[in-house]
Amino acid sequence: MTILLLGSGGREHALAWKILQSKQCKNLFVAPGNAGTAEIATNVNLDILNFEEIKAFVLKENISMVVVGPEDPLVHGIYDFFKNDSQLNNIPVIGPSKVGAQLEGSKEFAKEFLIKHKIPTAAYDSFTAQTVEKGCKFLETLQPPYVLKADGLAAGKGVLIIQDLNEAKDELRNMLVHAKFGQASSKVVIEEFLDGIELSCFVLTDGKNYKILPTAKDYKRIGEGDTGLNTGGMGAVSPVPFADAVLLEKIENRILKPTIEGLQKDGIEYKGFVFIGLINVKGEPMVIEYNVRMGDPETEVVIPRLKSDLVELFQAVAYEKLNEVSLEIDERSAATIMVVSGGYPEDYEKGKQISGIENIEDSLVFHAGTKLENGKVVTNGGRVIAVTSFGNDFQEATKKSYQNIEKLHFDKMYFRKDIGLDLF
Ligand code: AMP
Ligand code: GLY
């Protein structure tokens, strides 16, 4: 079959790499893709939020499955667009319906879902410009630090964690009254702060059945020792060493099962990945957030550990037969290190020539912000390349990635040298 994959990051290069290993896949298009996907598939310059443009391409190329990498097209309803179009409704879209995507698209929707289905999460309340003074009063009832979350999509920047009460009140006003995050902060969720270690869980569901993918831990801050600004993610390891059988059982019974059952009870169509950000508070897992897609760079460690045929899994998702297939997981650990442009996550330059990719041995290179310019690979984003390695443990895996990163070069290249160190 011919498959169309939407997106352009390291996540999409890893998904493309895995999809192409399936004997079910004859032809793969990636829109818009990057220099890495161009090497293995056909990039196509589509606007992934222009569903009419996608429709024309799907019909022209006889696409028989659409896999959605990022959240934006899902939140904008690409699943429903296909379902409601008589020419497209027999073509599966891997991703949730528009309502399902609200689990990521609206923090308030996610919190209401969690509370309704009795899934452990931080206590919260939500406020608008009309109730901003009530929000300030609510802050006074909490202990610092204060957690303020823009309700809508804010490119991973919409969460503020603030020590000082007055500063928290000021920021609440900035968000609600002065549109700090635009429309996304016209509503703000204020949450109780949870103290613990974070980990991410990934589930693939057909809406009824589900398969649990390997756990991963992401490193979100730009600086070593988890300091500095938040990024999309600077590296990841899988599995998470502290996620033992006891914790995993609690996660499945208290969080994963009730999530999938909740979707069914609420009549929410969902055929895709659920990415659950968790925090382990003294052995008790609690939900920090839902995402309706795979994580990036978590995909670059989770997907390489999957031995099963990903396209066959997607077919099982599409036809609600996930209960009939089994998952095979590589027992080894995987680690990925993200190489980024100097200055990221603030201003950075693009168009820097990248050298040394061809010298990397025994690791997987997943491109993120790269493009081809006159036949050369140049930087085209903040996060540039993820180098993934396997090992008997995460130490061995990270070591191999770091050895290979030494062979890469571009002007102002930066990466964190401490991925996994906190897990020793
Ligand atoms: P989110 O976009 O909801 O994942 O939030 C971004 C980051 O903020 C998370 O990865 C956590 O590190 C942190 N965070 C969010 N909510 C809380 C909370 N209730 N308590 C502590 N940290 C939080
Ligand atoms: N790495 C975090 C995310 O993909 O949201």
Task: In whole angstroms, give the CA distance from residue 276 to residue 206.
Answer: 16
Q: Which domains does the chain have, with CATH numbers?
A: 2-95 (3.40.50.20), 125-191 (3.30.1490.20)
Task: Please tell me the pTM assigned to this model.
Answer: 0.95
Of all residues in the chain, what percent are helix, strand and coil, respectively (each to 5)? 35, 30, 40
Q: Quick check: 7 pLDDT over 90?
A: yes
Decide if 297 contacts 336 (C-beta within 8 A).
yes
Q: How far is the CA of 354 from the centre of ligand 2 (A)?
A: 24
Q: What is the structure's pLDDT at 226? A: 92
Q: Quick check: 83 pLDDT over 90?
A: yes
Measured from the CA of 107, which atom of ligand 1 is nearest?
3
Measured from the CA of 195, which atom of ligand 1 is nearest?
21
Read off the pLDDT band of 107 (50, 70, 90): very high
Please name the residue whose Cα sits nearest to atom 4 of ligand 1.
289
Per-residue burial over 396-406, b if 16 or more Cβ lie within 10 Å, else e, is ebbebbbebbe
CA atoms within 13 Å, Cβ hemisphere of 245: 0
Note the Cα 393 to chain centre separation in Å.
Answer: 23
Q: Is 218 in the pocket of ligand 2 (CB under 6 A)?
A: yes
Task: Of 14, 41, 44, give the one whose Cα is nearest residue 27.
Answer: 41
**Mutate which of 213, 273, 291 to test ligand 2's pocket (most atoms within 8 Å of Cβ)?**
291
160 SS3 class: strand
Task: In whole angstroms, give the CA distance from residue 277 to residue 130.
Answer: 30
Q: How far is the CA of 393 from the centre of ligand 2 (A)?
A: 23
Measured from the CA of 295, which atom of ligand 2 is nearest?
4
Read off the pLDDT band of 179 (50, 70, 90): confident
Task: In whole angstroms, give the CA distance from residue 111 to residue 287.
Answer: 9
